[in-house]
Amino acid sequence: MDRLLEKIRVRGYKLTPKRIEMIRILYAKGGHFTPEEVCALLKRRFKKIGLPSVYRNLETLAECGVLVRIHQLDRQRHYAVCSHQGDKHHHHIVCTGCNKVEEMSECKVEAPKKVHGFRVLEHFLQFQGICPDCEIKK
């Protein structure tokens, strides 16, 4: 967890008690969570915390590379800890059974330089599947 906190420091953001607790909660529980779920968990420790503040902090932590935005079919925002070392481009795989999120150490996609006349600047790819533990349970 210290490495995650260092990512925040390096980018010049403050390590507030609420940010530290957000990371601790997400790190300890694993999987991915909506801002509403994170807010409910934080209210156990902080009496004064609102959903807008949770959204802002989750986005800040995602920009720092501490969290990753998980895209789900429910169209809600979800976040998970991104424990990938460094800032190297990578992707994630999400278990549809238990919500486990794991990093893929390298990008398996060679993005084209141009698409329909657009110069490609970056790409996003998320895999979904069943983790080995959930596969055994079937």
Q: What is the pLDDT of residue 17?
A: 93
- 23: buried, middle or exposed (CB in 10 Å: 19+, 13-18, 0-12)? buried
Q: What is the pLDDT of residue 115?
A: 84
- Structure tokens that stand for 5 in this block: 């906190």
Q: Within 13 Å of residue 12, how many CA atoms lie on the same side as its CB? A: 0
Domain count, the chain: 1
Contacts 24+ apart (CB under 8 A), 69-73: 70/32, 70/94, 70/101, 70/126, 71/126, 72/32
- Tell me the CATH number at 87: 1.10.10.10
pTM to 2 decimal places = 0.76
Alpha helices in the chain (DSSP H): 2-10, 17-29, 35-42, 51-63, 132-137
Please provide the size of the chain in residues: 138
- Structure tokens that stand for 46 in this block: 């902080």
| 4-52 pLDDT, tens digit each | 888 888 889 999 999 999 999 998 888 889 999 999 999 999 989 999 9
Place of tokens 């657009």: 118
| 76-90 pLDDT, tens digit each | 889 988 876 656 666
Q: What is the pLDDT of residue 88?
A: 65
Which residue range forms the structural domain that includes residue 15? 2-137
